[in-house]
A and B are shown apart, each in its own frame.
Chain A
Amino acid sequence: MKVTFNFGSFLSARSVAGDTIVELGQKYNTVWALTADTGGALKEYKKLFRDRYIDTGVAEQNLAGIAAGLALEGNIPFIFGMIPFMVMRACEQNRTAICYQDLPVRFIGTGGGLTSGGGSTHNAMEDISIMKSLVNMTVLSIGDPNMVRDIMLLSMTYPHPLYLRLAQGKQDRMLYEPGKFEYKIGMGLTAREGRDATIIAHGEMVFEALEAANSLAADGIDVRVVDMYSIKPVDKDLAVKAVKETKNILVLEDHLMEGGLASTLADVFADGGVYPKKFKRLGIPQVYAGFGSGEELRAKYGYDKTAAAAAIKNMLK
């Protein structure tokens, strides 16, 4: 797909994933696309590669097992689905059939955080916590839709299970010009330089963090924004550098405040003896969030750009 890069404009991450799986299917005869009745992005792929496409109907556990079997035979299966069912319904299959055997299955999940619009059954607030606890699993959270392609390409040489958390997947903000950064598992990137504080975010919250940083700049506050797209393994060096250079850390994420990136970073800082002057986390509290758009729910639960800007101001008092 031809992309005219325009910062902040929308592109569907799902369609990028759909285009990329076609590209991979053409290049590698070991690539399979699997879905449990959520293959909307796979229209082109299934036309071209009918014999490497499996739709099990609504049966996520079975799908995870089939993916394990395909991977045991040297294939690279990509599972496409909605996060809560891919991660939670099939949790034990993901652990025992896939992670225990350290198989290169890729999970492409849409509807990260409270972006699904479907209410609490369809929201994904626990997924990072669950997936990062699985031994051998790698956890990435991606906001910028074009990044999805780069990550899917690099995953072809990655020999372990890999979870790619996308945000809503339908309308995602473009943040980086394609080709500008080289993405790597275990690395984050500095999306904006700054000296007074750092917002560390992942997924669609990176855009919120950049917006907050822009609004704070008008008040003379210089905020760094780190896109920590690799949550497990996490980029410890980049996080520690942010502590050393900006002292104040705000973690902003569309996930339960317990168990997500904030918890990972708290571990990194405590274990490493690296102490931010101030450390605060904003994200989903212990609630089933209910109905509304992602934007509305972020505002309601106090982890949008406005809340982030206020938290930074409060930190710097």
Chain B
Amino acid sequence: MADPKEVKRLKALAYEMRKKLINLCGNYDGIVHIGGDLSMTDLLIGLYHHGMKVDPRDIKSPTRDRFLLSKGHGAVCMYIAMSLRGYFDYNEIVRTYGQLDSAYGMHPCKIQLPGVECSTGSLGQGLAVAAGLAFSAKQKKEKHRVFCMMGDGETCEGEVWEAANTAGSYKLGNLIGVVDRNKQLMTSFDGDYMNLEPYAAKWRAFNWNVVELDGHDMTQIVDALDNLPPATNEKPTVLIASTVKGKGVKFMEHDLGWHAGALSKADMDKAMAEIEAGYAGERSSG
């Protein structure tokens, strides 16, 4: 069972991260994919600050866990989670985000930003590349894991299921998929046109070990990460994390308009106040 102190530490980090996201979004003269950033904030904190063996001072260490952000439009969320871990300077991210020649673009670029494992942004491509990393590690008998964060919307892509089929067939137990299951695509809700359910059954059918959890419950996130099967497992694992797009800011939650958006000063203040109130309420209740 998750250590309550550790959960408390991670919750505080997630709170700080949400504020930093809103601050960046409010100060950037353009759109930010804020909805899907907020839905995976708790998961990224759990991964970068608890579950993954990574060291920002040794980004090429052969023994590090690998992380691929298949939902590349959530790059800024990853940059901030990494900055909180000591990889990057948050102020530099805010100052240069999306600017000419910045290392911090809308979609992550490995060449411009060392520490990023793979350049992504075209949806549905991450899991196959992650499988390639997992194949290499398995063949070399390396112990690390490969984590691949996907949005549920991008799992409409056929390549995801080609890769899922391969990873299941080749028993890539060192491959961990994480699905930010916020049940929204860019322009529709799950079920409006495309039915993603039965979602967990689909992964099981491809011979994956499936763990379902609440992607905003830090205790569940820590438990899921602590209890991952060993990298030598016969099946790859997918964490299907039920989340809310825009989580923490009521006027963004469940609103298709906030897949990506720009925040006015007034909205930024309102969003910040909600996040602060939410965190204060959580601390007083638990």
Please give 19 more A-B residue pairs, beta carbons under 8 A apart, in addition to A57-B165, A65-B163, A70-B135.
A56-B166, A59-B165, A61-B159, A62-B159, A62-B162, A66-B131, A66-B132, A66-B166, A69-B118, A69-B129, A69-B136, A72-B118, A72-B132, A72-B133, A73-B137, A92-B125, A96-B122, A101-B110, A101-B118
Q: Is the interface of A mostly helix, strand, loop or mixed?
A: helix
Whether, in the assembled complex, A311 has its beta carbon less than 8 Å from a beta carbon of chain B, the answer is no
Q: Using a CB–CB distance below 8 Å, which chain A residues touch chain B?
A: 51-52, 54, 56-57, 59, 61-75, 77, 92-93, 96-97, 100-102
Are A72 and B139 in touch, CB under 8 angstroms? no
How many A-B residue contacts, CB cutoff 8 Å? 91
Whether, in the assembled complex, B119 has its beta carbon less than 8 Å from a beta carbon of chain A, the answer is yes
Are B136 and A92 in touch, CB under 8 angstroms? no
Are A61 and B128 in touch, CB under 8 angstroms? yes
In the complex, chain B residues whose CB is within 8 Å of the CB of A70: 132-133, 135-136
Across the interface, name the chain B residue whose C-beta is closest to A62.
Answer: B162
Are B119 and A100 in touch, CB under 8 angstroms? yes
Whether, in the assembled complex, B130 has its beta carbon less than 8 Å from a beta carbon of chain A, the answer is yes
Are B110 and A65 in touch, CB under 8 angstroms? no
Are A69 and B165 in touch, CB under 8 angstroms? no
Across the interface, name the chain A residue whose C-beta is closest to B121.
Answer: A96
Whether, in the assembled complex, B86 has its beta carbon less than 8 Å from a beta carbon of chain A, the answer is no
3 closest residue pairs by CB, A with B: A69-B132, A65-B128, A62-B162
Are A73 and B133 in touch, CB under 8 angstroms? yes
Nearest CB in chain B: distance from A202 CB, A? 31
Nearest CB in chain B: distance from A48 CB, A? 14
Are A59 and B136 in touch, CB under 8 angstroms? no
In the complex, chain B residues whose CB is within 8 Å of the CB of A93: 125, 128, 159
In the complex, chain B residues whose CB is within 8 Å of the CB of A62: 128, 131, 159, 162-163, 165-166
Are B132 and A67 in touch, CB under 8 angstroms? yes
Bound CA span A148–B33, Å: 47
Are A64 and B136 in touch, CB under 8 angstroms? no
Across the interface, name the chain B residue whose C-beta is closest to A52.
Answer: B139
In the complex, chain B residues whose CB is within 8 Å of the CB of A69: 118, 128-136
Whether, in the assembled complex, B117 has its beta carbon less than 8 Å from a beta carbon of chain A, the answer is yes
Q: Using a CB–CB distance below 8 Å, which chain B residues touch chain A?
A: 110-111, 117-119, 121-122, 125, 127-137, 139, 158-159, 162-163, 165-166, 170
In the complex, chain B residues whose CB is within 8 Å of the CB of A73: 132-133, 136-137
Are B166 and A59 in touch, CB under 8 angstroms? yes
In the complex, chain B residues whose CB is within 8 Å of the CB of A68: 118, 128-129, 132
Nearest CB in chain A: distance from B216 CB, A? 30
**Cross-chain contact of B139 among A51, A57, A67 (Cβ < 8 A):** A51
In the complex, chain B residues whose CB is within 8 Å of the CB of A97: 125, 128-129
In the complex, chain A residues whose CB is within 8 Å of the CB of B166: 54, 56-57, 59, 62, 66
Are B129 and A65 in touch, CB under 8 angstroms? yes
16 A-B interface contacts by CB (under 8 A)? A52-B139, A54-B135, A54-B170, A61-B162, A65-B163, A66-B131, A66-B132, A68-B132, A69-B118, A69-B131, A69-B134, A69-B135, A70-B135, A73-B137, A97-B125, A97-B129
Across the interface, name the chain B residue whose C-beta is closest to A54.
Answer: B135
Are B128 and A64 in touch, CB under 8 angstroms? yes
Bound CA span A65–B127, Å: 8
Across the interface, name the chain A residue whose C-beta is closest to B128.
Answer: A65
Nearest CB in chain A: distance from B76 CB, A? 19
**Cross-chain contact of B125 among A54, A65, A75 (Cβ < 8 A):** A65
Bound CA span A115–B207, Å: 40
Nearest CB in chain B: distance from A113 CB, A? 28
In the complex, chain B residues whose CB is within 8 Å of the CB of A66: 128-129, 131-132, 135, 163, 166
Across the interface, name the chain B residue whose C-beta is closest to A98.
Answer: B129
Are A56 and B122 in touch, CB under 8 angstroms? no
Across the interface, name the chain B residue whose C-beta is closest to A64.
Answer: B128
Bound CA span A75–B129, Å: 13
Answer whether A65 and B133 are a contact pair too, CB < 8 Å, given A72-B118, A92-B122. Answer: no
Answer whether A61 and B158 are a contact pair too, CB < 8 Å, given A69-B130, A75-B136. Answer: yes
Bound CA span A62–B127, Å: 9
Bound CA span A59–B166, Å: 9
Across the interface, name the chain A residue whose C-beta is closest to B127.
Answer: A65
Bound CA span A67–B131, Å: 9
Nearest CB in chain B: distance from A146 CB, A? 31
